[in-house]
Amino acid sequence: MTSTVPDATHYVPENLPNHLQHYINGQFVDSVGGGTFDVLDPVSNTNYATAAAGQQEDIDLAVAAAREAFVNGPWPLMKPRERARILNRIADAVEAQEVRLADLESFDTGLPITQAKGQALRAAENFRFFADLIVAQFDDAMKVPGSQINYVNRKPIGVAGLITPWNTPFMLESWKLAPALATGNTVVLKPAEFTPLSASLWAQIFKDAGLPDGVFNLVNGLGEEAGDALVKHADVPLISFTGETTTGQTIFRNAAAHLKGLSMELGGKSPCVVFADADLDAAIDSALFGVFSLNGERCTAGSRILVERAIYDDFCDRYAARAKAIVVGDPHDPKTEVGALVHPEHYRKVASYVEIGKSEGRLLAGGGRPEHLPEGNYIAPTVFADVAPDARIFQEEIFGPVVSITPFEDDDEALALANNTKYGLAAYIWTQNLTRAHTFSQNMQAGMVWLNSHNVRDLRTPFGGVKASGLGHEGGYRSIDFYTDQQAVHISLGAVHTPKFGGIAAPTATER
**Rounded distance between C-alpha atoms, residue 79 and residue 88, angstroms:** 15
b/e per residue 76-111 (b: at least 16 CB within 10 A): beeebeebbbbbbbbbebbbebbeebbbbbbbbbbb
**What SS3 class is residue 116?**
helix
3-state SS of 161-211?
EEECCCCCHHHHHHHHHHHHHHCCCEEEEECCCCCCCHHHHHHHHHHHHCC
**Rounded distance between C-alpha atoms, residue 352 and residue 14, angstroms:** 35
Question: Could you tell me if 167 and 110 are in contact, meaning their C-beta atoms sit under 8 angstroms apart?
Answer: no
**Rounded distance between C-alpha atoms, residue 23 and residue 25, angstroms:** 7
**Rounded distance between C-alpha atoms, residue 400 and residue 389, angstroms:** 19
Nearest to 307 by CA among 334, 343, 275: 275
Active site members: 265, 299
List Cβ neighbours of 121 (8 Å cut-off, separation of 6 or more): 95, 98
- Rounded to 10 degrees, the C-alpha dihedral 212/218/164/64 comes to -80
b/e per residue 236-248 (b: at least 16 CB within 10 A): bbbbbbbbbbebb
**What SS3 class is residue 23?**
strand
- 69 vs 85, 92, 135, 216, CA distance in Å? 19, 24, 22, 9
**Rounded distance between C-alpha atoms, residue 451 and residue 58, angstroms:** 46
- 225 vs 54, 161, 246, CA distance in Å? 7, 14, 16
Instruction: Kindly give the residue spans of alpha helices, DSSP state H, lying in 256-374.
Output: 280-292, 309-325, 344-357
Question: Could you tell me if 474 and 179 are in contact, meaning their C-beta atoms sit under 8 angstroms apart?
Answer: yes
**What SS3 class is residue 36?**
strand
Question: Could you tell me if 231 and 161 are in contact, meaning their C-beta atoms sit under 8 angstroms apart?
Answer: yes
- Rounded to 10 degrees, the C-alpha dihedral 218/72/155/458 comes to -30
End-to-end, the C-alpha distance of the chain in Å comes to 92
Sheet containing strand 148-156, edge to edge, reads 141-144, 148-156, 484-492
